[in-house]
Structure 1
Amino acid sequence: MMTKIRIKTTEGDILVRLYDETPKHRDNFLKLAKEGYFDGTLFHRVIKDFMIQGGDPDSKGAPKGKMLGTGGPDYTIPAEFVYPKYFHKRGALSAARLGDEVNPDRESSGSQFYIVWGKTYKPAELRQMEKQLEMQQEQTIFNQLAKENHDKIMQLRRNRDRVGLQELQDELIAETKAISLEKGKPAFTDEQREAYSSIGGTPFLDNQYTVFGEVEEGLDVVEKIQNCETLRGDRPKEDISMTVEVVEE
C-alpha cells in the first residue's frame, strides 16, 4: 500500500508519502485530511534551519499576534518509533508532542505535525552527538535504578549513613554501565551518517518524536517556508495557510 497526501500551501504544493509501518499515525492523518480538518490551518511555527510546524485547528483565521500551538483533538497517538529505519532527515514528516516531563511515553499530538529542514553536520559533529547520546542513555538508566531504590536511598539519608549511600551509588553506577553495555552504544547507521552529512536534518530529535512520512516532491516549498520572516512565537509574519488532500491510499 502506498499512501500519499498533498499539502497545498500559499507557497506551493508538498507531496508527502505516509509510512505503512506507522499505521496509527497514517490512519489518523488520513482521517483528518478527509474531514477537511487541516483546511485553512496555518504553518504557525517556523524556525529557520530547523522545521516548519502546522496542524493546530486554532490557527484557522487566527488574528495577528495570537499565540498558537496548543490546539488539537482531545486525544493523543501512541508513539510509533521505527528507528533507525526512519529518522529526522530533511523532508521527514513527524508528529509534534508535549515534552517528556508531562508526556513520558512520548505520545504524539492528535493533529500537529512538522516537516524537518535542519542542517548538514560534519563527521566530527556526529561523533560528538553519539557521545552525548551515550551519556543520555546512561543517565536514563541510572535515573531508573535510583527510582527503583528510592526507599533504600531515603532510609540511608535518614540514618545519615554516608558510607552506605556511597556504596549504593557505586553499585548503581556499576549496574548502569553493565546495562548500557548490554544495550550497546547508541550509534548512527551508515544511512543516517550519509543523510545528515549530505542532505541535512535534525539528528538530536531521533527516537524522541515519531517520524511517520517523508516529502517526495516540494522540498523547495519547505525551504521557502522555513526561510520566511517570523514574529513572536515563531509565527510567520505573513500567514501561510494549507489545505490537505489524499492523493493515493
Structure 2
Amino acid sequence: MNSPKFYLYFFSIVIITLGCKDTSKKSESVTFVPTATIDSTQLETVSLSEQENEEKFQLTEDNAIDFFFNYEKTLNSNKVKITTNLGSFTVELYDNVPYHRANFIYLTRKGYFNYTQFHRVVKDFIIQGGNSDDRKTGKKRADIGRYLLPPDTRKGHKHDRGTISMPSSEMDNPHMLASPFEFFIVVTDPGSYHLDDEYTPFGRVIEGMDIVDKINNQPVGEGDWPMQNIYIEKAEVVE
C-alpha cells in the first residue's frame, strides 16, 4: 500500500506537468492571436486598409445629400482656380448654396475636372465645362458615383455676367435636378436672367473674365462643340 508521502509526491508531479502544458499553450497562442501592441508594420496595414475603404466609397442618390451636408462644414475655402490651355480664371463660391459649393470643391479636390473640356460654347451666352469625349472622364464619373443635386434657386443670386451655375441633368428629370459634374458660366452682358428660376447659381468669376470671354469667342462646330478642344488643364482649390 502506498504511503501518504507517495500520493503527495505524485500530485505534485501532476500539478507541475499541467502547469507546463498551460504555459506551452499560451506561448503558442501569441503567434496566432493579435496582441494589443501595434508595431509600425501593423500601422501601415491599417493605413492601407483605410485608403482602400476611401477609394471604394461612391456617392449615390441615397447618400449624396448627407455627405455634402457634413463635407461642407469642413470647408475653409470658397475659391477655385481653373487653368485652361487658353489661360486661367478664378471663381468664388457662395456660402449659402452649401450642397453645390461642397460638390464643386469635392470634385476639384478629387481631380475630376482636370483634363475635361469646355465642350459647349454659345456665343454671347455661356461656356459650359466638365465633360469630355475622353473615356477617362466617364471612368472618373463612375468611380466617384452616380447622383444628382437638388436645385437651390431662391438664395437671391441671379445669372449675372460671370455667374457660375449648374445645368440640369439630361435624364428624365421633372424636378430639374442638377448634373453635378458640369457647370456653365454666363457671358451675357448684363446677364441671362431667364435662367434664374431653373438653374442654381453657386458662384461668380472674380478674376480672369477676359479668359472666359476668350473661350466664348472660339469657333464652334455642330452641337456648339469648339472646333479646337479647350482643355481644363487643372482645377485647384485656393486655400
Check whether TM > 0.5. yes
Aligned counterparts, 1:129-148, within 5 A: none
Residue 220 (str. 1) matches residue 215 (str. 2)? no
Residue 241 (str. 1) matches residue 231 (str. 2)? yes
Indicate if the aligned counterparts of 2:77 and 2:237 stay in contact, CA closer than 8 A: no
- Aligned pair in 2 of structure 1 residues 21, 59: CA closer, same or farther (>3 Å)? farther
Indicate if the aligned counterparts of 1:94 and 1:210 stay in contact, CA closer than 8 A: yes
Indicate if the aligned counterparts of 1:18 and 1:214 stay in contact, CA closer than 8 A: yes
Aligned counterparts, 1:33-48, within 5 A: 33-48=108-123
- Aligned pair in 2 of structure 1 residues 92, 47: CA closer, same or farther (>3 Å)? same
Aligned partner of 1:92 among 163, 178, 181: 163
Q: Give the RMSD, CA atoms, in angstroms.
A: 2.1
Length-normalised TM-score, structure 1: 0.59
Q: Secondary structure at the match of 2:238?
A: strand
Q: Secondary structure at the match of 2:104?
A: helix
Q: Tell me by how many angstroms 1:4 deviates.
A: 0.2
Q: Distance in 2 between matches of 1:112 and 1:214?
A: 15
Aligned partner of 1:59 among 133, 136, 143: 133
Indicate if the aligned counterparts of 2:77 and 2:238 stay in contact, CA closer than 8 A: no
Q: Any stretches of 5+ residues in structure 1 without a counterpart?
A: 63-67, 120-199
Q: Distance in 1 between matches of 2:167 and 2:198?
A: 10
Q: Report what 1:140 is aligned to.
A: none
From the CA coordinates, give the structure whose radius of gyration is larger. Answer: 2
Q: Distance in 2 between matches of 1:106 and 1:229?
A: 30
Aligned counterparts, 1:18-167, within 5 A: 18-56=93-131, 58-60=132-134, 73-83=145-155, 85-98=156-169, 102-119=172-189
Residue 231 (str. 1) matches residue 221 (str. 2)? yes
Q: Distance in 2 between matches of 1:2 and 1:31?
A: 12
Q: Percent identity?
A: 41
Letter in 2 for 1:86: H
Report 1 or 2 for greater relative contact order, CA contacts < 8 Å, sequence distance ≥ 6.
1
Indicate if the aligned counterparts of 1:14 and 1:222 stay in contact, CA closer than 8 A: yes
Q: Distance in 1 between matches of 2:159 and 2:105?
A: 21
Indicate if the aligned counterparts of 1:40 and 1:61 stay in contact, CA closer than 8 A: no
Letter in 2 for 1:74: R
- Aligned pair in 2 of structure 1 residues 218, 60: CA closer, same or farther (>3 Å)? farther
Q: Secondary structure at the match of 1:212?
A: strand
Indicate if the aligned counterparts of 2:164 and 2:186 stay in contact, CA closer than 8 A: yes
How many residues align? The count is: 158
Q: Distance in 2 between matches of 1:98 and 1:49?
A: 23
Letter in 1 for 2:147: Y
Q: Distance in 2 between matches of 1:247 and 1:103?
A: 33
Q: Tell me by how many angstroms 1:82 deviates.
A: 3.2
